[in-house]
Chain A
Amino acid sequence: MAWQFILATCSRYSGDRTWGVLLLKYWLTGKINVLLHPNYMWLANVAGFVLLALSLLKSVQLLQIVTQRSARTYFRSLPTMQHFSLFPPGWSSALLLAVAVFGLQFTPQPFASEVALNRGVTDTLAMTRSQPQSFRSTTSPEERSLIDWIRTLDVYPEPDAYTGQQASVEGFVIHPPELPDNYLMISRFVITCCAADTYPVGLPVKLEGSRSTYPPDIWLRVKGSMITETLNGQRQLTIQASQLEEIEEPENPYEY
């Protein structure tokens, strides 16, 4: 009877345990960067430990019971279990386990240009979005990151005010269909809480030749100077690129 019992134990609590393992795996492999804002990572890590502890505690208890009583009594008591629930008994555990096992196989990928186009890239932070936590107007232009530029624009949107300033920003390439062939968009995703609320921001980059040299989704460091261009009937701050350098995709793809 004991083996049957251990089997029951394992299947019963493996859902919780596997989710614990999965949460800790995201942490240890750094993939948590793709999923969450750093402020909330500790929550996920602690939850991983708690889930593991819970399932261990339950398993130890059940094994103690094996040594004390016959398993038959245990199984006789099983059919009386009843809980108000959406699912038939056991389905929920099975679903949890299946999804967690799948999660262990699956590597989360940071979003790319396709999602950015679908969500609409802008050079403004929408009204509902993260307001600048710290705004350093003293930063010299070439030290501003892409998101710093967007925040600066947010405070003072007149593009002419920045003409001639030097820019050096990093981001991934988007080819927005509405821009002419010698423009690409350099962009980053901004995250507030988790990947579900990421949204892209970006600035147009004016190239010497065709953008096909720089395919979508590669990461670039763009150096150049700021100009004002009229794109789709809108005056927009644009980087006139003087130097484009391909870089590695950063481990943490989001900006905050």
Chain B
Amino acid sequence: MSQLNNALTLFFSLMVEAIPFLLIGVVFSSALLLFVDERKLVAAMPRSPLLGALAGSLVGFLFPVCECGNVPVARRLIVQGAPASVAIGFLLAAPTVNPIVFWATWTAFRDQPEIVFLRIGFSLLIATIVGWVFSAQADLRPLLQPTVAQSMSAPQGRLGRRSRRKPVQSTEPASELLQSGTFLLNSSGQPMRMEAVGMQAALAASSITTKPLGDRLQMMLDNVVQELRELGGVLILGSAIAATVQVAIPREVILSLGQGPITSILAMMLLAWVVSICSTVDSFFALSFASTFTSGSLLAFLVFGPMVDVKNIGLLLSVFRTRAIVYLFALAAQLTFLLTLIVNLYVS
């Protein structure tokens, strides 16, 4: 009985600590999705593949979105002509390399500042490398879903010229959702959106920064509420898993798994993939393993988790073909493993 009580106390403490950060993340991502015009951003990106990948990774500082918000943004970047290196760099790094995640990680690991900085550094490094590798593919289209590929008219490259062209409307079903939203608005002249009608899908298809301010605020509110609800559900599952693992699995088992330099990394990477917890709050999850797992494995969780997780696959499949996703994951996983193993063996 007291076991259950402890697990529940743990669970609610994780929730209470994580909810404020989830709230901040959702509000920021909704605001910036609606108020930043990424077409201008795409035009400003450097053309060199390596610099492009680095710049793309750093864009997260302008779009503090967690991994649930970044796939739609990456898709818009691709559709609007961003080079592969920029889009992939953004996709992998944005959920981690942003001020809100930095703050949350700092809150959780203020006693181990190296974890906070290595987390950001490794994410940046991996995202840049993978973005660079992907830039070898000059024309992204064979790797994209047909619907997304169709909406891009020309091969990548001449960024300056492409950016002046009007963005091409996506022909996928998502744009119908956008139309249904417009219908609601037009029919009575007042903002009648009660829910985000295919919000992210609609956002993926077109830029929203041209709409009137009132509509945008309304959409922002809708997006906040909807994302909060969905990510809150995921947070509950994640916290429940963390609390259960801590209380139910005997300490000896966790210690033997968590102290091995290799097993601990593999275990935490697997956990990161399964748990799918949002990057703004995953540091609190990792914190509950801080006393029993190696620093390298905690880093592996914090770096790899935001890049790939179960819920992300569904999102990524809306942009990339399976083959591309496998490449992405394999590269990111190997790099994470390598870097965190170095931490385990030589640093800590």
* A contact set with B: CB distance below 8 Å: 13, 15-16, 19, 23, 26, 32, 34-36, 40, 43-44, 46-47, 50-51, 54, 57-58, 61-62, 65, 68-69, 74, 77-78, 80-87, 91-93, 95-96, 99, 103, 106, 108-112, 114-115, 118-120, 126, 128-131, 192-197, 199
Contact = CB atoms under 8 A, between A and B. Distances in A.
A50 B107 CA distance: 20
Interface of B: 2-3, 5-6, 8-10, 12-17, 19-21, 23, 68, 71-72, 107-108, 110-112, 177, 180, 184, 188, 190, 192, 194-201, 221, 224-226, 228-230, 232-234, 236-237, 242-243, 246, 251, 276, 284, 287-288, 290-291, 295, 310-311, 314-315, 318
A230 to B, nearest CB: 26
Contacts of B291: 119, 126, 128, 197, 199
B314 A86 contact: yes
Given A96-B236, A193-B108, A58 B17 contact: no
A196 B295 contact: no
B116 to A, nearest CB: 13
Contact of A92 (B108, B180, B232): B232
Contact of A43 (B20, B224, B315): B20
Given A83-B199, A84-B318, A129 B111 contact: yes
The secondary structure that dominates the A interface is: helix
9 nearest CB pairs, A to B: A92-B233, A195-B13, A196-B288, A47-B20, A35-B13, A43-B20, A194-B17, A194-B13, A108-B9
A112 to B, nearest CB: 7
A86 B195 contact: no
A80 B198 contact: yes
A112 B196 CA distance: 46
A19 B243 CA distance: 19
A82 B201 contact: yes
A19 B232 contact: yes
13 contacts: A15-B229, A16-B229, A35-B12, A35-B17, A83-B198, A83-B230, A84-B314, A85-B311, A92-B233, A126-B291, A193-B108, A196-B246, A196-B287
Contacts of A112: 2
A96 B6 CA distance: 20
Contacts of A81: 195-198
B314 A118 contact: no
A138 B132 CA distance: 57
B225 A16 contact: yes
A194 B14 contact: yes
Contacts of B200: 83-84
Nearest to A26: B16
A61 B232 CA distance: 22
Nearest to B227: A83
Nearest to A103: B12
A82 B9 CA distance: 34
Given A128-B290, A199-B291, A77 B111 contact: no
A82 B200 CA distance: 9
Contacts of A80: 177, 180, 197-198
Contacts of B284: 193-194, 196
Contact of B16 (A36, A46, A77): A36
Nearest to A58: B225
Given A65-B194, A80-B180, A196 B251 contact: no
Given A82-B201, A83-B198, A13 B225 contact: yes
A163 B295 CA distance: 37
Given A35-B13, A108-B9, A118 B315 contact: no
Contacts of B71: 84
B291 to A, nearest CB: 6
A109 B5 contact: yes
Given A34-B9, A35-B13, A93-B229, A51 B23 contact: yes
Nearest to A118: B251
A40 B311 CA distance: 29
A62 B13 contact: no
